[in-house]
Structure formats: C-alpha cells, structure tokens
C-alpha cells in the first residue's frame, strides 16, 4: 500500500509523523511523495490557529472531489484537528475515512488495517479515535504507556527523514498551562513526563545511527520533572508519569524522594551521550528557567545556548488575560539572567497580536518589550479564536482583522530591525555551523539570502518543508548561479557559505564546521570556511 503523509504545524507533529512513518514502513507500507499516487492519504494536522485548519480543509476538499470522481483512496486525519473537531469532521466531510488524535497514534496501524479489510463500497464504518479532550485520568497511564511504545519503537530510517543527522526526542507530552487562547492542553492532554532512562537511551541509539543534533521537545520543556520510584511498567521499567502540577513543580521534593529535573536531564544526556555534538530544547516556559538550567548550559559546551522563550505580549494586563502566569518584569528578569550567565545566548520568541481587548497602549507595550530584548527572531501570530478555549468562551474577538494585520506587519518590520542588529553583532566572529541545506544564488547579486525574498533557490534535503524555515523556489539559470552550503549556528542563526559546486555543498551536509562570519543580513549570516571548503571540522 502506498501512503502519502503530509505534516502541518509544529515540531511535535513532525516527530509524530516520523514515528508514524517508521511504524507503518516496518509493517510494509511504502511512502510516496505524490498524493495522487497514494492509496492512503494522511494529513497530520494542527489546530493551533484557524489558518492551519483551513489549509487542511482545502486539502481534504481536493481529495473529496477526487473521490466523488471515482478515486479509491483512504483519507485519514491525524493530530490535533482530529482531536479537536472529533466526529464533527466526519459529519462535515464524508470523504474522511479515519480520524486519529495525537494521543492515539500508536493505534493507527490497527485503524488502517480495519479500513483496508472493508472495500470502499461498504466503507460506511468509518473509524475514529480521539480521547485527550476528556483529559482522562484513570486511563491516562495505560494510554500514555502505549504512546511510550511508539516513541520507543522508533525505527530510524534515513530515507524517511529530511535531515538524517538531526532528530527530535520527546521528553514531555501535553501541557498543564492552559493559556486562555491555546487549544494544546485540550488536544494533547495533560502533561506527562517520560522516564529519563528511556530518553537517554533513545538519544544514545540515535547517535549510534549517525545523528549529531538532538532537539528535546516539550510544550513547556523546562517543566520536565520525573519522580523516581513511583510508577513502574509490568516488566519493571520506569513508566511515564503525569506532571506534578504547577504548584508542586516549584516545591522542593520531600526528603528521600529522588527527582530528575530538566537541568539534571540535560546534564545526563550531555555526559552519557558524548557522541552528540548538539543538544537543543524547545519550548521553554519563561517563568521557570532556573539557575540550575543556566548552570548546566554554562558548563556543558555541547548544549546549545539557544532559548525559545515565547513572551506572547508586552502588556501585563494582556498577559494576565492570557493566563501566562508571569509579568513583563519577570520575563525581563529571566532574559537578563540568561544574558548575564550566558553572554552568547540566542533568544527567540512568539508573540500574539490582537488578543481580545488589546488596546493601542497594550500593543505599544509589546513594541517596547521587543526593543528591550535582543530577539534573534519572533514568530508573530494574529490571535485566532479557538473553540474549546477559555478565551473563545469568555472574551469577544474584538480586535478587527485589519488592525490585527496592521499590528502584525508593524511587529514584523520591528523584528526585522532587531534581527538585523542581532545578526550584525556576529560579523567578525567564528561560529560552529551545522550544514543542512544546499542553495544557490544568482551570480550578479551580492549579499543575497532568504531575507531578500525570492532570489535564493534552495535544494532542501528530503521532502516536507519546515513551516518555520524561509524557503524559496525561484528558478535561475544554472550557469548563472553561485553555490552555497547553508546551515545553523548553535544559536539557530542561519549561515551561508559560498562553495565551488553543488557537490562541495553536499559534502558538508550533516557536518559541523567553524565558519568565519564576514557580513550579516536580517535573517542570514555570510561567512567562509578557513581552510579548503570541503574540510569539515568534527
Ligand atoms: N491564536 C494565535 N496564536 C496562537 N498560538 C497559540 N494559540 C494561538 C491562537 N489561538 C501561538 C502562540 C504559541 C505558538 C505555538 O502559537 O504564540 O506560542
Ligand atoms: Fe499552549 Fe500555553 Fe501550553 Fe504553550 S504553555 S502549549 S501556549 S497552553
């Protein structure tokens, strides 16, 4: 059976897709790049903003019209949209055969198997599995244990991953924060922490198979905290466990109880997986980044000094309405501490504009905050009301779309200025770069790059595109192009290096080399390799 799988949304979804791909491939399913050549089309969906859902709906519409014209294909929706909308989707879109929420992905092969046994003609029995919306408690341990099996059974398939040298490892699932705008606690359920031994083992296995960069994933990754000796699987291994809740998170553990904190986990991986060249983590919840985390970052050279630390708004009133749990002052305190302890730290964030009741003054406060923090970049979103969230139920979406767009554009322009300053500071320095893409630019142009819009052609290794990476596909005649190897610094800044041929660029992929930075743009550094262009430094 040929399967087409497209991923929308966040890194957590990218990892889920990779695990699903590995599991199905091991069962004999073959993955194809062309949705029209597949017998099974799966969309791993995102429900964080309406825009993401619209994209999926339009894809579902296309498959629907093909089906009405006689195409026989199984259409499945996985992920957060399947969870959020549940059976409603099946009612609205009769072409959808299968729904599988993010907490049930381990059971996807069984669902597909059931569908394949029924011919299309009598496929009135559509299948759906969702469950996180109820934030089950009684069944949580068992369900999460099954999910744990999916994480553990990860079959590493270099063909199936876009960048085989780089991998995600989940440490925490779900979220307990309940920011009022956010659908994640409902779709991904309560916070569950994986046992540290399983995480370290997964990192070790990935490195044994050639991975040199691991990004630890969690919705609030720094809330990771594992209490030992409380939950064991039947065969005596430690089991995933539900998070302690925010109040308990801050308390010291009772005497005699052994805890692995986030900082301890980072240090353990750094120590026990020496072949790992880069260890990263996203996303940090700003309030709970303690000195212990900074201590580990300051002393472990292979842990990237990169913090994705979304602030969401620069107004205390809006932060309160968002239930973010910190003030602007507290956020800035964390930023200042981070910079003091780690002078070369790179900070990225997320900001929402047009949250209900946001005034010009609130917005101005966000601009002030942005000018105060050296953000290397910010993902800026227009508020999107999400059914099932507190903001949707209690606050009118009262900022007109035009004003949201205006504020969005202003912040994008401001961020471009800030990014330019942050990048400019790197000129003259030598930075470690992990090369991950081949690109080319027209020979005529100087200082080109993704930021200059549409003049760079990138050959991206593998298939699905990362929604957060600028990529352009404007054809330029090949005899008038200069070749480049592109990569990222430990602080996640994009670096381009000129090389003599595409082969030279390809030979750098998946290696870390020291690059001397010559010049900077808003989103791109230009540099050169000190010795012959093809000698990577490991
Ligand atoms: N509307 C707009 N942006 C949102 N985000 C989460 N929920 C919403 C929403 N309803 C943004 C936040 C979060 C990022 C992943 O998505 O900025 O950090
Ligand atoms: Fe959503 Fe807030 Fe949890 Fe992030 S911390 S996933 S924004 S509820």
CATH fold for the domain made of 2-129:
Rossmann fold (3.40.50)
404 lines ligand 2 (CB under 6 A): no
240 lines ligand 2 (CB under 6 A): no
Going from the Cα of 180 to the center of ligand 2, the distance in angstroms, rounded, reads 9
Phi, psi (degrees; rounded to nearest 5) at 280: -125, 170
Q: How far is CA 224 from the centre of its chain?
A: 17
Q: By alpha-carbon position, which residue is closest to atom 14 of ligand 1?
A: 350
182 lines ligand 2 (CB under 6 A): yes
Count Cβ atoms below 10 Å from residue 394 Cβ, excluding itself.
Answer: 10
Choose the residue to mutate in 132, 179, 286, 288 for probing ligand 2, maximizing ligand atoms within 8 Å of C-beta. 179
Are the C-beta atoms of 89 and 76 separated by less than 8 Å? no
Mean pLDDT over the full length of the chain: 87
Are the C-beta atoms of 415 and 370 separated by less than 8 Å? yes
Going from the Cα of 62 to the center of ligand 2, the distance in angstroms, rounded, reads 32
The pLDDT of residue 236:
78
Percent of the chain with pLDDT strictly greater than 70: 83
| Structure token pair of residue 280 | 């990263």
The pLDDT of residue 245:
66
Element (H, E) at 223: none
Going from the Cα of 177 to the center of ligand 2, the distance in angstroms, rounded, reads 6
Are the C-beta atoms of 374 and 336 separated by less than 8 Å? no
Going from the Cα of 194 to the center of ligand 2, the distance in angstroms, rounded, reads 19
Going from the Cα of 51 to the center of ligand 1, the distance in angstroms, rounded, reads 11
Atom of ligand 2 nearest to the CA of 323: 2
Kindly give the pairing relationship between strand 457-460 and strand 430-442.
Answer: antiparallel
Query: Residue 449 and residue 440: Cα distance in Å, rounded?
Result: 9
470, pLDDT greater than 50: no
The pLDDT of residue 249:
66
CATH of domain 326-425: 3.30.750.200
pLDDT, one tens digit per residue, over 348-371 is 999 999 999 999 999 999 999 999
pLDDT, one tens digit per residue, over 112-131 is 998 888 755 555 556 666 55
Choose the residue to mutate in 49, 174, 175 for probing ligand 2, maximizing ligand atoms within 8 Å of C-beta. 175
Tell me, yes or no, if the two domains 131-304 and 326-425 fold the same way: yes
pLDDT, one tens digit per residue, over 34-48 is 999 999 999 999 999
Query: What is the pTM for the complete model shown?
Result: 0.88
Tell me the domain boundaries of the chain.
2-129, 131-304, 326-425, 430-528
**Angle 262-272/196-208 helices, nearest 10 degrees?**
30
Radius of gyration of the chain (CA): 23
5 CB-near residues (< 8 Å, 6+ apart): 17, 20, 21, 31, 42, 43, 44
83: left (phi over 0), alpha (psi -120 to 50) or beta: alpha
475, pLDDT greater than 90: no
384 lines ligand 1 (CB under 6 A): yes
**Angle 328-341/291-299 helices, nearest 10 degrees?**
30
The pLDDT of residue 252:
75
Choose the residue to mutate in 84, 132, 183, 185 for probing ligand 2, maximizing ligand atoms within 8 Å of C-beta. 185
Half-sphere exposure of 415 (CA within 13 A, CB side): 21
220 lines ligand 2 (CB under 6 A): yes
Are the C-beta atoms of 391 and 312 separated by less than 8 Å? no
382 lines ligand 2 (CB under 6 A): no
The pLDDT of residue 148:
73
CATH fold for the domain made of 131-304:
Transcription Regulator spoIIAA (3.30.750)
When pLDDT is averaged across residues 11-16 and rounded to a whole number, the result is 94
Going from the Cα of 178 to the center of ligand 1, the distance in angstroms, rounded, reads 12
Q: What is the DSSP letter of 163?
A: -
| Structure token pair of residue 214 | 């691991």
379 lines ligand 2 (CB under 6 A): no
Q: Helix, strand, coil proportions of the chain in percent (round to 5)?
A: 40, 25, 40
Q: Give the torsion sign (CA, 426, 429, 435, 441).
A: positive
484 lines ligand 2 (CB under 6 A): no
**Closest C-alpha to 358, from 411, 308, 310, 414:** 411
Q: By alpha-carbon position, which residue is closest to atom 1 of ligand 2?
A: 182
Instruction: Name the band, by pLDDT with cuts 50, 70 and 90, for residue 455.
Output: very low
When pLDDT is averaged across residues 387-391 and rounded to a whole number, the result is 95
Identify the top-confidence range among 19-23, 414-418, 439-443.
414-418
182 lines ligand 1 (CB under 6 A): yes
Are the C-beta atoms of 174 and 124 separated by less than 8 Å? no
pLDDT, one tens digit per residue, over 198-217 is 999 999 999 999 999 999 99
The pLDDT of residue 37:
96
Choose the residue to mutate in 47, 177, 180, 182 for probing ligand 1, maximizing ligand atoms within 8 Å of C-beta. 182
175 lines ligand 2 (CB under 6 A): yes
Q: By alpha-carbon position, which residue is closest to atom 18 of ligand 1?
A: 350
């Amino acid at each position: 059976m040929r399967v087409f799988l497209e991923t929308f949304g966040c890194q957590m979804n990218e990892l889920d897709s990779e695990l699903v791909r590995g599991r199905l491939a091991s069962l004999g399913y073959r993955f194809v790049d062309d949705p029209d050549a597949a017998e099974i089309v799966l969309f791993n969906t995102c429900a964080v903003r309406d825009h993401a859902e619209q994209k999926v709906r339009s894809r579902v519409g296309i498959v629907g019209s093909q089906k009405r014209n006689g195409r026989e294909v199984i259409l499945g929706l996985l992920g957060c949209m399947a969870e959020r909308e549940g059976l409603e989707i099946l009612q609205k879109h009769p072409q959808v055969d299968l729904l599988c929420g993010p907490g049930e992905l381990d059971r996807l092969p069984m669902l597909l198997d059931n569908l394949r046994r029924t011919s299309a003609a009598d496929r009135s029995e559509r299948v759906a599995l969702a469950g996180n919306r109820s934030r089950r408690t009684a069944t949580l341990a068992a369900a999460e244990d099954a999910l744990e099996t999916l994480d553990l059974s990860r079959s590493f398939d270099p063909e199936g991953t876009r960048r085989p040298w780089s991998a995600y490892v989940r440490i925490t699932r779900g979220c307990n924060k309940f920011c009022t705008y956010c659908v994640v606690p409902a779709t991904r359920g309560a916070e569950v922490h994986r046992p540290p031994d399983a995480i370290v083992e997964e990192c070790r296995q990935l490195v044994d198979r050639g991975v040199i960069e691991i990004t630890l994933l969690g919705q609030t990754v720094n809330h990771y905290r594992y209490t030992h000796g409380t939950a064991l699987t039947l065969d005596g291994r430690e089991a995933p466990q539900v998070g302690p809740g925010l109040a308990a998170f801050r308390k010291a553990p009772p005497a005699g109880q052994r805890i692995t904190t986030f900082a301890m986990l980072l240090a353990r991986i750094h120590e026990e997986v020496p072949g790992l060249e880069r260890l990263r983590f996203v996303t940090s919840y700003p309030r709970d980044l303690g000195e212990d985390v900074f201590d580990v970052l300051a002393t472990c050279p292979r842990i990237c000094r990169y913090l994705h630390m979304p602030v969401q708004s620069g107004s205390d009133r809006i932060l309160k309405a968002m239930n973010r749990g910190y003030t602007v002052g507290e956020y800035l305190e964390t930023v200042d501490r981070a910079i003091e302890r780690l002078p070369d730290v790179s900070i990225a964030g997320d900001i929402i504009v047009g949250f209900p009741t946001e005034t010009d003054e609130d917005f101005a406060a966000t601009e002030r905050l942005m000018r105060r923090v050296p953000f290397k970049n910010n993902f800026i979103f227009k508020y999107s009301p999400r059914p099932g969230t507190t903001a949707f139920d209690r606050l009118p979406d009262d900022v007109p779309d035009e004003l949201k767009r205006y504020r969005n554009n202003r912040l994008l322009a401001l961020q471009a200025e800030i990014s330019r300053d942050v990048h400019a500071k790197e000129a003259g320095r030598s930075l470690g770069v992990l090369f991950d893409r081949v690109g080319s630019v027209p020979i005529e142009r100087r200082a080109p790059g993704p930021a200059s819009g549409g003049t760079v052609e990138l050959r991206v290794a593998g298939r699905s595109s990362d929604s957060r990476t600028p990529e352009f596909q404007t054809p330029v005649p090949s005899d008038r192009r200069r070749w480049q190897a592109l990569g990222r610094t430990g602080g996640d800044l994009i670096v381009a290096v000129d090389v003599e041929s595409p082969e030279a660029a390809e030979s750098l992929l998946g290696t870390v080399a020291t690059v001397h930075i010559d010049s900077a743009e808003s989103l791109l550094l230009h540099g050169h390799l000190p010795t012959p262009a093809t000698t990577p430094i490991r």
